Amino acid sequence: MALTVAGCGGDDGDGAAKKTTGTTPEKSAGGAAKDAVTVNIASFKFQPDPIKVKVGGTVTFVNQDKAPHTAQTDLNAKRAEFDTKRLETGDEKTVKLGKPGDFKYFCTFHRFMEGTVEVVE
């Protein structure tokens, strides 16, 4: 299974990662799938986790930690379903999810940090 990524490298094409003013995550696990979900990275955790998103929907990862983080599905970038690249404090990256399935993701800097996204029709 594969996902479609809307961009990569932590930017939207202007060469700079987006900064955020802080958002509240939408809880979607166990409930209806959302068109868009925000995952906050705080205290070395992805929150909320797990999440449920519709095919074609998006997940925005927001780093609220003091340390840099990533959210990636595979260490091999060519096989990765998505890869936010390095997110500094306050950075955010949105990925688009193109195919159904359950996908585990992790932070490449802190491998104990893991999350799951369920993508449904």
Q: Determine, yes or no, domain membership for 6.
A: no
Matching residue, tokens 């070395």: 44
Q: Residue 71 belongs to a domain with what CATH number?
A: 2.60.40.420
pLDDT, residue 78, reads 77
Matching residue, tokens 């970038």: 77
Average pLDDT on 62-69 reads 98
Q: Calculate the average pLDDT of the chain.
A: 82
Determine contact, residues 39/48, Cβ cutoff 8 Å. yes
Q: Number of folded domains in the chain?
A: 1
Identify the domain containing residue 109 by its residue range: 20-120
Q: Determine, yes or no, domain membership for 2.
A: no
Tokens (6 digits) for 31:
């409930």
Which pLDDT tens digit goes with each residue over 77-95?
A: 778 889 999 999 999 999 9
pLDDT, residue 117, reads 96
Which pLDDT tens digit goes with each residue over 15-55?
A: 334 333 343 444 445 689 999 999 999 999 999 999 999 99
pLDDT, residue 100, reads 92
- Collapse the DSSP code of 78 into the 3-class scheme (helix H, G, I; strand E, B; otherwise coil) and give the result: coil
Look at the alpha carbons of 107, 28, 12, 55 in this order and tell me if their dihedral is positive or negative. Answer: positive
